[in-house]
Amino acid sequence: MRVLIADDHDLVREAIATLLTQEGIAEVQTVSDLEQALDLVRDQGAFDLVMLDYKMPGMNGLEGLAKMQAANEGRPVAILSGNMSRAAVQDAISRGAAGFVPKTLASHSLGNAVRFMIAGETFAPYNFMQQDDTPVGNLSMRETEVLRGLCNGLSNKEIARDLDLQEATIKLHVKTLCRKLEAKNRTHAAMIAHERNLL
């Protein structure tokens, strides 16, 4: 099995590659943006599965998905993300994505998901697809998205990139949601969210 991972977060990219290798995936290659991924596919031929980070350079929303689908000769192309709304995931799948792989997926589940998609099935975590994309309590929709990012262990910079906002804006949202949740800090806010099953 040949898998290509395209993600501009070095640590995330290498961690996923290592996990897949440990799970018995024969060949795992990594690149940091869409153009490199497209070049590699053109040079080496189609991969059994390509996983694209939703927010990396060159993706431009789901335009990158369509480009890679064409380049990979119809073989599975999945979306990888640390913070993506259920509506965006459904949109990607409706456009032919092989699935959605959260960056927080456990290693064993990740291996199974990859094999599942290579076999021609569509993968999306059941718990994620059951999430309600409505605001939590007295939080706004945007504050709820930021809180989800905090719960996934993302930094302000990563949340800003995933939501296509400025880092300063995320800091303001974190401050507001901490006040609303009566949390001392971002870690405390994530703990409260988990304890109350807010997400």
The label of the residue with tokens 């703990």 reads 191
Measure the CA–CA gap between 77 and 34, rounded to whole angstroms: 12
- Residue the block writes with tokens 């870690």: 187
For 189-198, write each residue's pLDDT tens digit. 999 888 887 7
CATH of domain 2-129: 3.40.50.2300
The average pLDDT across 49-68 equals 93
- State the Cα–Cα distance between residues 93 and 184, nearest whole angstrom: 38
Beta bridge partners of 100: 79
| pLDDT at res. 3 | 97
Higher pLDDT residue, 22 or 127? 22
Q: What is the pLDDT of residue 29?
A: 97
Chain mean pLDDT for the chain: 90
In the chain, what are the domain boundaries? 2-129, 141-195
Residue percentage of the chain with pLDDT more than 90: 61
Q: What is the pLDDT of residue 130?
A: 63
Farthest CA pair distance, the chain: 54
Say if residue 132's pLDDT is above 70: no
User: Is the pLDDT at 129 greater than 80, yes or no?
Assistant: no
- State yes or no: pLDDT of 133 exceeds 70: no
Secondary structure (3-state) at 44: helix
| 141-195 belongs to CATH 1.10.10.10 | yes
The predicted structure's pLDDT at residue 153: 87
Give the count of beta carbons closer than 10 Å to the beta carbon of residue 10: 10
For 65-110, how does the pLDDT look when each residue is reduced to its tens digit (9 = 90+)? 999 999 999 999 999 998 787 878 888 999 999 999 988 887 778 9
- The answer to whether 25 touches 114, Cβ cutoff 8 Å, is yes
| pTM confidence score | 0.71
